[in-house]
Amino acid sequence: MPRKPLLCSILFFVFLIAGCQLKRRSVVRRPRLVVGIVVDQMRWDYLYRYADRYGEGGFRRLLRNGFSCDNTLINYLPAFTAVGHTCIFTGSVPAFSGIAGNDWVEQGTGQRMYCTDDSAVLAVGAESAGSKEGKMSPRNLLVSTITDELMLAENFRSRVVGISLKDRAAILPAGHTPTAAYWLADSSGHFITSSYYMSSLPAFVDSFNRRELVKQFVSKPWNTLYPKSSYVQSDVDDEPYEGKFRGDSTPAFPHNLDSSYKVAKSSFRYTPDGNTLTLDFARACIDGYQLGQRDITDFLTINCASTDYVGHQFGINSIEIEDTYLRLDRDLATFFDYLDEKIGQGEYMVFLTADHGAAHAVGYSQNHDIPADYWNPGVVAEGLNDVLGHAFQTPGLVDTISNYQVTFCMKTIRDKKLDFNAIKKVAVEWLRQQPGITYAIDMEKVGELPVAEPVRSMVTNGYYSKRSGAIQLIPNAGWFETHGKTGTSHGTWNPYDTHIPLIFMGWGIRQGHTNEQVHLTDIAPTVAALLRIQMPNGCVGKPIVGALKK
């Protein structure tokens, strides 16, 4: 064949193939950036409790421009941080994901395990490579995340970054294959990572850390944004059920953060400035990694964790928690404005949800004649050990009570050749008689027991036999597990712990809301449907079709 016609034929096929590729890219349309924001310990009613004082650009913008799922529920137990973040980004439940709590006891060995502990990695950016603050990874997570699935769909060309003050809330959402995950080291006040992700911090992270923003934040007292008398949605300041900062003589405003930080560096987390720092760092990561600024979809996961710390310390009816949400509303407005300018309004999709809610402080409930009380797992474990020790002539049969579950010393039971079913039967009968206990459930017999829905399904979804205790405890409404008598907690099946906000906004999302019941497990498959990618491999949820534009 003459050279000229041959060259023309080659060029024809080259352009034909290139055209097919361009056509393929135009058909599979995706947003430039997905941002998943999880506000730690945010009850659904916070969207409306403080609504008259929110500005136009934060929570109001989400509700006005986005799609709100007003009846979003957690469908597993326990309702704890690590489990919630895992569920949001995997669409799975502990029965499959293996993340059965923030920490747990390995049932086969009796070993205590924190959810993201990894002794095989080193700290990166910490004061020493052996620092426990950085020896973390997602290896205990047994399923893929929506962020993993985006990486797989784009042949690992996407960039995925997870950010939080908490290690677990940065690591688990980012999944197994991210570009990076960063969390705060209290010892230095810097964002760090581990060798699972990289060998050294990028220059922009080093530069951010050198600003020493934590020290700047704590140099000023925390006072209210508005006059205290205007916080009409909160109880009066200085209530007995409110906790104190270390070094403070009172739980009332103003809080002298400088002196508290000198006593306990973790005290910074218990201020609204922790959310401000997190969103500041999120902007630095968008700039540093050029997220959403290429022709490939990127994913940023953000956990605003200070809401959880403030709630735990002061309770959900404190002026502190109201002030924290008013400040977070401003921070979100600033962040959304930044996304509009950097990525382009309508070019990104953001969703905002929570990992769990929280109960009213016991003292607050009791002051208003609502049944509530504290439940101390250590005291219950001690009493149960006495009963079992007498019945089976063996001390220490209960290892621990945590995550509202009883874990037994299986090595002792095996070595002594004791009847485990008999032990559980005695334990269940005794536990059922204790104050504040609605159910004590032998998990091997949950299908046979008269356990009301939705509790039966929730405990089944939350049970991973290798990491969950043999007996599940369900406390009375208003009761929660605690070792102290201030602040609040969470973890139960009740709506105050499991009814959380869920709002989608931006690319591919229609405006509106629904009161139909959806679950936390539905978030990942909804994002998968939006992106036209496979849902995570342990996903049990389904897409929220009403949120998506046709």
User: Given 81, 90, 193, 297, which residue is catalytic?
Assistant: 81
Q: Can you tell me the distance from the alpha carbon of 181 to that of 342, in angstroms, rounded to the nearest whole number? A: 21
116 is catalytic: no
Identify the CA nearest to 525 among candidates 514, 536, 513, 516. 536
Cβ within 8 Å of residue 227, ≥6 positions away: none
Question: ∠325-41-531 over CA atoms, to 5°?
Answer: 95
Single-letter code of the amino acid located at 219: S
Q: Report CA-CA distances (Å) from 438 to 274, 487, 535.
A: 37, 23, 37
Q: Identify the sign of the CA torsion 46, 48, 54, 59.
A: positive
Question: Phi then psi for 16, rounded to 5 degrees?
Answer: -65, -45
Identify the CA nearest to 105 among candidates 411, 415, 434, 376. 411
Q: Can you tell me the distance from the alpha carbon of 86 to that of 76, in angstroms, rounded to the nearest whole number? A: 12
Q: Can you tell me the distance from the alpha carbon of 86 to that of 166, in angstroms, rounded to the nearest whole number? A: 14
Terminal CA-to-CA distance of the chain, rounded, Å?
A: 51
Q: Can you tell me the distance from the alpha carbon of 408 to that of 386, in angstroms, rounded to the nearest whole number? A: 14
424-441 b/e (C-beta count within 10 Å ≥ 16 → b): bebbbebbeeeebbbbbb
Cis amide bond preceding 543, omega within 30: no
Q: Which two tokens stand for residue 295?
A: 């022709």
- DSSP bridge pairs for 184: 191
Burial class (CB in 10 A: 0-12, 13-18, 19+), 264: middle
Q: Which two tokens stand for residue 71?
A: 């009846």
Q: Can you tell me the distance from the alpha carbon of 77 to that of 93, in angstroms, rounded to the nearest whole number? A: 9
Q: Can you tell me the distance from the alpha carbon of 14 to that of 28, in angstroms, rounded to the nearest whole number? A: 22
Give the HSE-up count for residue 72: Cα atoms under 13 Å, Cβ half-sphere: 32
Cβ within 8 Å of residue 425, ≥6 positions away: 442
* Helix or strand (DSSP H, E) at 498: helix 495-498
- SS3 at position 353: strand
The C-alpha R_g of the chain, in whole angstroms, comes to 25
CA 523 vs. chain centroid, Å, equals 13
**Residues designated catalytic:** 81
